[in-house]
Structure 1
Amino acid sequence: MLETTFHDYTFQSPLMNASGVHCMSAEQLDELANSKAGTFVTKSVTKKKRQGNPEPRYYETNLGSINSMGLPNLGFDYYLDYLDKRQKMTSTPVFFSVASMSMQDNIETLKKLEDSNFRGFTELNLSCPNVLGKPQVAYDFDMTEKILTEVFSFFTKPLGVKLPPYFDIAHFDQMATILNKFPLTFVNSINSVGNGLIINPEKEQVVIKPKEGFGGIGGQYIKPTALANVRAFYVRLNPSIQIIGTGGITSGLDAFEHILCGASMLQIGTQLYKEGPKVFARISDELTTIMKTKGYTDIQQFQGKLKTLEDH
């Protein structure tokens, strides 16, 4: 019932983790693989191992979270070795996330991935808001086009980009025009809303250490922004470019709304952090119940079919 076709593969569920949550170590990735998630994505990897930003760098609230992780990961070779072994045991493709510290590092990492035996999907993260001193690449439209031109001059495996949230209709139009020039497999929208601030009023201080308390906002706070971005790109991108919806998914109803906006796959971040991998079974059950109540037998029957008030 929850099967979803993505590129040329049918996953048993559209649910997966968001890169950065429960995917640092082989043990965590194994737990995702053994959960009710349809697949998983690795940490956004850099060429070499990174410690990331100083702690505390993650903080939960009732409505979500703030983080400024700074791309902590165990390095490219660690994740490639893990996935090489995994590919020998299962045919289910996974996602390899790449987010290096410079354009040149990105290119070098992707060239290694192109030359490797990796057979899954590659996510190029153009939207990390929490690396000290580094702006989000995807807010620079010229740089985004330059990077994608370089990448697609040599990269032939299925590749998508992870985008930050956009807040202006003109920016949806501009970015979609750029993305439609390239043979992208998918767009993942959205990363956390960058540079929010959460305060502990009792202590009268910020709650995370990096960047004087500024960090990426996730969870229920960002669902309306995530839905808007999913919908905006679904109606603007070439039909061959599928959408991964990320942001504010805490329930089956949230998942249903993302799919209604046009998402083919769904990534869960903050709620996975709060509940652990059992979150996938709960949200799967809730989504299945909603579909049965509405008389849907598969996701394709309502995917992208969001109505406007003019439809009535």
Structure 2
Amino acid sequence: MTSTKTRIAGFDFDNCLMNAAGVACMTIAELEAVKDSAAGTFVTKTATLDFRAGNPEPRYQDVPLGSINSMGLPNQGLDYYLDYLLELQEREPSRTFFLSLVGMSPEETHTILKKVEASDFQGITELNLSCPNVPGKPQIAYDFETTERILKEVFAYFTKPLGIKLPPYFDIVHFDQAAAVFNQFPLAFVNCVNSIGNGLYIEDESVVIRPKNGFGGIGGQYIKPTALANVHAFYQRLNPEIQIIGTGGVLTGRDAFEHILCGASMVQVGTTLHKEGVAAFERITAELKAIMEEKGYESLEDFRGKLQYIEE
């Protein structure tokens, strides 16, 4: 019997597919829809300490091979998502969900994480290190010194399952340097990747989103090769107890299959979910199972990380 069950951070999930943070997760109604779909679980919208309206509209645009966005971290604030997850824990104690969060400063990050640590939340926490933080500074995860310092401070007090959301890296030496930092800590997972930053999409003679004069994160089919490279590079380099969530360019079951082949234990769907709605989970799962059946694979473990190379 073909199964897409998976296990991550010590928790079992009936399906390896879930939403990507930022899609179908802003409100409780959206999260409930993902929860009741074929997805194995959901992740909340990346929460800041307080409500944020985000950037002015239009800030998201579907484009032929994906999407472009400059959302500006709109979210309902930590308490909105944490309170919902605590209520959901009581209602569906057998299921596990992900809480995504980020601080607008390192201090706020610690305030948020300490609040989660002190709460009764029993799920998995994702710290988003792929958001621009300080004007004039790169995304946190591109600054290895800052990343190491923040993680050292966080793990001094945070004891619950914690993973990190990463931007894409593009240089082999950066994979090496990032892995050397991550391997120092008891991370549950790394999530590869967030959108490719600061792309530009033009229709006729105009940009298509308002913020940053049209510059925005690129998602969808455009980014699958980059996402797969990041998944596999970290699968090769990280301690085996640090698992991988693959995100980027998942339109079909074949795309999900390739993420798992590269080493992913879970696969997130973003742009496709935005375009198609939660029915995408059932379709992609069926396509993934069909590929597995054709190849004689009964579980994800049969092919996870077993990417083949062309020998010399």
TM-score by length of 1: 0.97
In the alignment, the residues of structure 2 paired with residue 53 and residue 26 of structure 1 have an alpha-carbon distance, to the nearest angstrom, of 21
Distance 1:286 1:227 in 2: 19
SS for the counterpart of 1:160 is strand
Q: Summarize the Cα distance change of 1:72–1:27 in structure 2 as closer, same or farther, 3 Å threshold.
A: same
Cα separation, 1, equivalents of 2:72 and 2:63: 20
Whole-Å separation in 2 of the counterparts to 1:80 and 1:177: 32
**Aligned-pair RMSD on alpha carbons?**
1.2
Could you tell me which residue of structure 1 aligns to residue 78 of structure 2?
76
Mapped to 2, the partners of 1:131 and 1:182 lie a distance apart of 24
Per-residue deviation, residues 119-166 of structure 1 (Å, max 9, x unmatched) = 000000000259976631100010000100000000000000000000
Alignment match, 2:196: 193
> Quick one: percent identity of the two aligned structures?
62
How big is the shift at 1:214? 0.3
Q: 1:79 to 1:40 in 2, by over 3 A?
A: same
SS in 2 for 1:60: strand
Task: Name the SS of the counterpart of 1:46 in structure 2.
Answer: coil
Distance 2:104 2:41 in 1: 26
Which residue matches 2:251? 250
Deviation at 1:99, TM superposition (A): 1.4
CA distance in 2 between counterparts of 1:110 and 1:31 reads 27
Could you say which residue in structure 2 is the equivalent of 1:44? 46
1:294 maps to what in 2? Answer: 295
Answer yes or no: is the 8 Å Cα contact 1:130–1:215 preserved in 2: no
Aligned length: 309
List runs of 5+ in structure 2 lacking aligned partners. none
What CA distance in whole angstroms lies between the structure 2 residues aligned with 1:57 and 1:130? 19
Residue in structure 1 matched with residue 7 of structure 2 by the alignment: 5
The TM-score with structure 2 as length reference comes to 0.97
Q: 1:66 to 1:131 in 2, by over 3 A?
A: farther
Counterpart AA for 1:207: V
Deviation of residue 7 (structure 1)? Answer: 2.3
Q: Distance in 2 between matches of 1:34 and 1:128?
A: 29
Q: Secondary structure at the match of 2:12?
A: strand
5+ long unaligned stretches in structure 1: none
C-alpha separation in 1, matches of 2:191 and 2:61 = 24
Counterpart contact for 2:131–2:139, Cα < 8 Å? yes
CA displacement at 1:40 relative to structure 2: 0.3
Matched with 1:114 is 117
- The one-letter code sitting in structure 2 at the alignment partner of 1:218 is G
Give the Cα–Cα distance (whole angstroms) in 2 for the partners of residues 231 and 18 of structure 1: 19
Q: Is the 8 A contact 2:9 2:188 kept in 1?
A: yes
Q: 1:249 to 1:169 in 2, by over 3 A?
A: same
For the residues of structure 1 that align with 2:163 and 2:81, how far apart are their CA atoms? 18
Q: Residues 139-154 of structure 1: matches in 2 within 5 Å?
A: 139-154=142-157
